[in-house]
Amino acid sequence: MKQFAIIGYPLVQSFSANLFNAKFEREHIDAHYDLYPIQHIEECKGIFDLPNLAGMNVTIPYKQAVIPYLDELAEEAAAIGAVNVIKVSERNGKRWLKGYNTDVIGFRESMRLILKPYHKQALVFGTGGASKAISYGLKQLSIGVQLVSRTKKADTLTYQELTADIIRNHTILVNATPLGMFPDTNDCVPINYNALTPDHLLYDAIYNPDKTLFLQHGEHAGATIKNGLSMLNGQARAAWQIWNQYEN
């Protein structure tokens, strides 16, 4: 039986585990997907040695910390600096671990479907792992990216610096912070929502709840809104393809 695994902490629930175990059962695939909530990244070495390991996911807080333990990085994962999928294969009789970032694939593919020609500039809220993958994906779609952070850095604006004009001139707004995620559903990024127009596209990486307060503000202004569910499904589909594609 092939084994798939996810590392992260805390890891009480996993979308990927539920999705893949249901797929294995439905499609009579002889495989199992298990959760490994590890408290320290060094513990990943024990999991990498599992005899029938065929593929892994990596989640918070190890998407960056896992990189030194891998043999190779796919180009996008290296550019983003974060890995959420590991392909396990053999090379010269040795186990070979290659890291990928499929968050960017899930985001890019879901975004591509809803973009309009006037969507050229984006504000991305937050500067963590999701923000890095999303910003990279936006640039691949030829969209200019301005990061917004609670902390002033060379390449970021703070929330206090966001004028109504800046919001009007950036018709894509992406929430890549945890603000608004269940159970704190009354939170949203502190911006001037009165500056939103029907030309705006609001994308939230969060998928629980399915319509965050951020997206509700967008809907109220007549903007296009999209939650993170298709990004989540897209990253899992891409992971399955990577685990099953032959590479030499």
Integer Cα distance of 121 and 126 in angstroms: 16
* Sole window of 73-81, 86-94, 127-135, 163-171 interacting with ligand NAP (rule: CB under 6 A): 127-135
Integer Cα distance of 220 and 45 in angstroms: 49
| Nearest by Cα to 162 from 175, 148, 172 | 148
Integer Cα distance of 17 and 83 in angstroms: 17
Report the DSSP pairing between strands 201-204 and 224-226: parallel
The single residue among 24, 69, 96, 207 that binds ligand NAP, judged by CB under 6 A, is 207
Query: Measured from the CB atom, is 206 or 223 closer to ligand NAP?
Result: 206
Query: Measured from the CB atom, is 45 or 152 closer to ligand NAP?
Result: 152
Integer Cα distance of 101 and 239 in angstroms: 9
* Sole window of 3-11, 45-53, 174-182, 212-220 interacting with ligand NAP (rule: CB under 6 A): 174-182
The single residue among 14, 57, 102, 131 that binds ligand NAP, judged by CB under 6 A, is 131
2 catalytically annotated: no
Identify whether the C-beta of residue 182 lies closer than 8 Å to the C-beta of residue 153: no
Using rule CB under 6 A, residue 205 touches ligand NAP: yes
* Sole window of 21-29, 31-39, 126-134, 165-173 interacting with ligand NAP (rule: CB under 6 A): 126-134
Which residue type does 238 have?
A
The single residue among 5, 17, 56, 130 that binds ligand NAP, judged by CB under 6 A, is 130
